[in-house]
Chains A and B, each alone.
Chain A
Amino acid sequence: MNQLMFIQEAISIAASLMLLISFALLAQHRLLSVLHWFSAQGIVLAITTLLVALISDHDELYFSAAMTLLLKGALLPWLLWRIIMKMHIHREVEPMVNMPVTMMIALGLVLVSFHIALPIEAISDLATHNTLAIATATVFLGMLMMITRKKAVTQVIGFLSIENALFFTAIGATHGMPMIVEIGVAFDVLIAAIIFGLFFTQMRSTFDSLDIEEIEAKAKRR
């Protein structure tokens, strides 16, 4: 029982770390530090999965923890890092709205998700039911990141962090999806990352830029 309490506490800490990382992703100015935080998000996600695996009787969660660590903590960040290095785009992140305003919106989103998650948390009897509000918030924050960034690479990282957040939500709400779904999603994300890589190269060679606004302007002129 005491051990269960301890793990529950550890899960709360991991959940608050997830929230902190989502904010850190939004606050970064440099592309490479965004990537570092994205990798950290994958690692925290893997730790959370491991912790949930310890208190639930789903043994396959150990496997998905290992997969998360490898795929989201190492492989995806490495793929993105290679793209960034190859295309020389490690310049500053350009947000549409300035940092304090983004942060205020982000805080508001956390409040909203807290409000949304309350009734669901009330009917859940899992040990992780507290994390649901934070999980919803991280999904929202990933979307906010996708919306407020101009560069395609940061938008892709936003997309991948939404995927991380959804995985986190699944673990918190139901102790993980069926294994086959999880493997499917993991491979989808991996393939998506590779396709994004090709896509970036295409965009660069066609439009000579990865800035979405610039691309739109050029597309209109054609």
Chain B
Amino acid sequence: MKQTLTLWLLNLLQASLMLLVAPLLAGIVRKFKARLQNRRGASLLQPYQDLRKLFSKESLFADNSSWIFRTAPVVIFTATLLAASIVPIIVVDLPSAMIADVIAMTALLALARFWIALAAMDIGTAFGGMGASREMTFSALAEPAMLMGVFVMSLGAHSTNLSTMVHFALNLHHLHPSVAFALAALLMVSVAENGRIPIDNPTTHLELTMIHEAMILEYSGRHLALIEWAAQIKLLLFASLIISLFAPWGIAETIGLLPILIALGCWFAKIILLAAAVAMLESALAKIRLFEVPNYLFTAFVLAFLGMLVHYILEVGVQ
């Protein structure tokens, strides 16, 4: 009984860590990007201050907005946070991993996306509708690619449970080509899902190109804060998912103070590395044309599918 309580407590701590570190990750990426552009950049804590400012501001609503518009930020935030709490970042085999697997995680993210699109259409502005239609078009292509990529790992681990998959990845002593394919696919999808360059630019408000920003244009105050925070959590979620699936070294397999501290350090170092990679990628690449995005996502899907085929052909062998 005490054991279970500790595990739940750890799970809660892990989820709140995700919640608290998420704005910092956004700050780190911005800082890296600023340094690459020879700017000094804002403080690492700037995203926290932005959130605090938004929370203390008044929320304004359009006259014709319905209850959907008001509830959407809460739903989006909760669903994203729940999805984030499923990913094992510090300790494996936590209770949340027993309850929900990677399909549930994708479903929670899909729920968040559904609500954001619904809220965007609720007020009936042109921007909202355009953003929503783009988002849904691209997500219809991104989601299968993401699931396929994760399924390549599931095939090896014989489970869709994230903790089991982490154990599998830890015991992976040979270089598996299928894993490389899955990693490439997931990296491509993560960039698209989080609306980063080269798919979407998170800093622009140019009507021709924006996807995510177009949908949340009408939000203000604490509602906007919740949505932005959810977007930051989503970025951290994808970074953590890639780390846990492909580079989980250092994650705590036993409960204890030392393993947990080591896992924390490892996870943080890997997150910073990924943030640097994201910043480099965003500085080096230009945004691709909107009509090229389906091709990009389709490439990710083909890569993931190839990973699956390669797994069957080369790694399972002949029965």
- A residues contacting B by CB (< 8 A) are 9, 12-13, 15-17, 19-20, 23, 27, 99-100, 103, 106-107, 110-111, 114, 118, 121-122, 129-131, 133-134
B306 touches A19 (CB 8 A): yes
Q: Give the shortest distance, in Å, between B184 (CB) and chain A (any CB).
A: 9
Determine which of B177, B294, B312 lies in contact with A100 in the assembled complex, contact meaning CB atoms within 8 Å. B294
Point out the residues of chain A lying under 8 angstroms from B317, CB to CB.
130
Instruction: Decide yes or no: A122 and B318 within 8 Å by CB, A9-B174, A13-B177, A16-B181 being known contacts.
Output: yes
Point out the residues of chain A lying under 8 angstroms from B309, CB to CB.
19, 107, 110-111, 114
Complex Cα spacing A122 to B305, Å = 24
Point out the residues of chain A lying under 8 angstroms from B312, CB to CB.
114
B298 touches A99 (CB 8 A): yes
Q: Does B6 reach chain A (CB closer than 8 Å)?
A: no
A13 nearest CB neighbor, chain B only: B177
Q: Give the shortest distance, in Å, between A31 (CB) and chain B (any CB).
A: 18
Q: Does B314 reach chain A (CB closer than 8 Å)?
A: yes
Point out the residues of chain B lying under 8 angstroms from A110, CB to CB.
306, 309
A134 touches B313 (CB 8 A): yes
B314 touches A131 (CB 8 A): yes
B177 touches A99 (CB 8 A): no
A11 nearest CB neighbor, chain B only: B314
Point out the residues of chain A lying under 8 angstroms from B177, CB to CB.
12-13, 15-17
Q: Among residues 51 to 75 in chain B, which have CB atoms less than 8 Å away from a CB atom of chain A?
A: none
B301 nearest CB neighbor, chain A only: A103
Complex Cα spacing A23 to B315, Å = 20
Assign chain B's interface to a size class: 20 to 34
A20 nearest CB neighbor, chain B only: B306
Point out the residues of chain A lying under 8 angstroms from B318, CB to CB.
118, 121-122, 129-130
Q: Give the shortest distance, in Å, between B188 (CB) and chain A (any CB).
A: 13
Q: Does B78 reach chain A (CB closer than 8 Å)?
A: no
B295 nearest CB neighbor, chain A only: A99
Q: Give the shortest distance, in Å, between A27 (CB) and chain B (any CB).
A: 7
A9 touches B175 (CB 8 A): yes
Query: What string of 1s and 0s marks CB contacts (under 8 Å) between B31-60 and chain A?
Result: 000000000000000000000000000000
Instruction: Decide yes or no: A19 and B174 within 8 Å by CB, A99-B295, A107-B305 being known contacts.
Output: no
Point out the residues of chain B lying under 8 angstroms from A131, CB to CB.
314
In the complex, 14 of the A-B residue pairs with CB atoms within 8 angstroms, ordered by the A residue number, are A9-B175, A16-B177, A16-B314, A19-B306, A19-B309, A103-B298, A106-B302, A107-B302, A110-B306, A114-B313, A121-B318, A122-B318, A130-B314, A134-B314
Point out the residues of chain A lying under 8 angstroms from B314, CB to CB.
12, 15-16, 130-131, 134
B297 nearest CB neighbor, chain A only: A100
B313 touches A23 (CB 8 A): no
Complex Cα spacing A221 to B315, Å = 55
Point out the residues of chain B lying under 8 angstroms from A111, CB to CB.
309
Point out the residues of chain B lying under 8 angstroms from A17, CB to CB.
177
B312 nearest CB neighbor, chain A only: A114
B294 nearest CB neighbor, chain A only: A100
Point out the residues of chain A lying under 8 angstroms from B298, CB to CB.
99-100, 103
Complex Cα spacing A23 to B310, Å = 13
Q: Give the shortest distance, in Å, between B74 (CB) and chain A (any CB).
A: 37
Complex Cα spacing A20 to B305, Å = 11
Point out the residues of chain B lying under 8 angstroms from A9, CB to CB.
174-175
Q: Give the shortest distance, in Å, between A40 (CB) and chain B (any CB).
A: 16
A132 nearest CB neighbor, chain B only: B313
Complex Cα spacing A54 to B180, Å = 25
- Which of A16, A100, A103 gathers the greatest number of chain B CB atoms within 10 Å? A16
Complex Cα spacing A19 to B312, Å = 14
Complex Cα spacing A28 to B317, Å = 31
Q: Does B133 reach chain A (CB closer than 8 Å)?
A: no
Q: Does B194 reach chain A (CB closer than 8 Å)?
A: no
Q: Does B299 reach chain A (CB closer than 8 Å)?
A: yes
Point out the residues of chain B lying under 8 angstroms from A122, CB to CB.
318
Q: Give the shortest distance, in Å, between B287 (CB) and chain A (any CB).
A: 18
B310 nearest CB neighbor, chain A only: A16
Q: Give the shortest distance, in Å, between A58 (CB) and chain B (any CB).
A: 23
Give 12 A-B pairs besides A19-B309, A27-B302, A130-B314 with Cβ atoms closer than 8 angstroms: A12-B177, A16-B181, A16-B310, A99-B295, A103-B302, A107-B309, A110-B306, A110-B309, A114-B313, A122-B318, A131-B314, A134-B314
Query: What string of 1s and 0s marks CB contacts (under 8 Å) between B168-192 and chain A?
Result: 0000001101101100000000000
Complex Cα spacing A195 to B177, Å = 38
Q: Give the shortest distance, in Å, between B133 (CB) and chain A (any CB).
A: 19
A124 nearest CB neighbor, chain B only: B318
A23 touches B302 (CB 8 A): yes
B309 nearest CB neighbor, chain A only: A110
Complex Cα spacing A217 to B302, Å = 35
Q: Give the shortest distance, in Å, between A2 (CB) and chain B (any CB).
A: 12
Point out the residues of chain A lying under 8 angstroms from B294, CB to CB.
100
The 6 closest A-B pairs by CB, nearest first: A16-B177, A12-B314, A133-B313, A16-B310, A121-B318, A122-B318
